[in-house]
Amino acid sequence: MLKALIFDLDGVIVTTEHNHFIAWKRTANSLGIDFEEEHNELLKGVSRVDSLKKILELGAKTISTEEFNELLISKNDFYVDSIQDLNQTDLLPGVLSLLQEAKSKGIKLGIGSSSKNANFILDKLAIRSYFEVVIDGNGVKDPKPHPEVFLNGAKALGLSPKDCMVFEDATSGIAAAKAGGFTAVGVGNPNIKAQADIYLNDLTEFRVEQYA
Ligand code: BG6
Ligand code: MG
């Protein structure tokens, strides 16, 4: 029985995945590493530290710990700068109506994101109050594809994973949801269609009454 919906944030709720791509492309190019959309697929849902590690692997490059940490800061500064004007018009299709409908039916809502900027973004979007629980990159030891972020979410909601659906746009996120025993709903990224239990082009296609 469906009791909760747990959403990834970047790429499921809001368009920020593109901002991450632009910021990482800038970082990669500054290191002389080519970085295109197909490379970015490997980074979706992946923590900030692991993302930079993957970029360095891509370019077969080694840098000092100092430079590594500086790049993490400059990437995040550039990224945060690029999302200063974020607002409700940046919500992906169907988000607001799904949150409202689920709430009205007594279904609990949560966020399970790898981002350390999750609360900042939720406040910009003015949707923070819909969620009983927000688990973000600050509260997780093992990032996606490990299921910790979603398991912590279900635990905080007092529910078993089998009663929760997880909405994800990333390969790492679908893997995390499935490893945790959740129903994994893939959204808006054809690359994850085969791995997801259910696939939606966008959230307008989700019918709460089908599962509640
Ligand atoms: C995930 C994004 O939600 O958060 C990744 O899909 C991003 O692209 C990761 O790297 C970490 O985000 P942040 O905001 O903490 O750098
Ligand atoms: Mg995502």
- What rounded mean pLDDT belongs to the chain? 97
> Which stretch of DSSP H or E encloses residue 185?
strand 183-187
Check pocket membership of 76 for ligand 1, CB cut-off 6 A: yes
pLDDT at 25 exceeding the cut of 90: yes
Residue 137: nearest ligand to its CA? Answer: 1
Distance (angstroms) between ligand 2 centre and the Cα of 17 equals 7
Side-chain half-sphere CA neighbours of 186 within 13 A: 18
Ligand 1 atom with least separation from CA of 21:
8
- Alpha helix positions (H), 1-147: 17-30, 37-40, 48-58, 65-82, 95-104, 118-125
Read off the amino acid at residue 209: E
At 100-110, the pLDDT tens digits run 999 999 999 99
Decide: 20 in ligand 1 pocket, CB within 6 A. Answer: yes
Q: Name the strand (E) or helix (H) holding 152.
A: helix 148-157
Question: What tokens does 70 get?
Answer: 């500086």
What is the model's pLDDT at position 212? Answer: 80
As beta bridge partners, residue 164 has: 4
Find out whether 137 and 118 touch, Cβ atoms under 8 Å.
yes
144 CB within 6 A, ligand 1: no
Q: Which of 6, 17, 46 is the pocket-test mutation for ligand 1 (most atoms within 8 Å of CB)? A: 46
Q: How confident is the model over 176-192, as pLDDT tens digits?
A: 999 999 999 999 999 99
Which residues participate in catalysis according to the annotation?
8, 10
For residue range 35-84, list pLDDT tens digits in order. Answer: 999 999 999 999 999 999 999 999 999 999 999 999 999 999 999 999 99
| pTM confidence score | 0.97
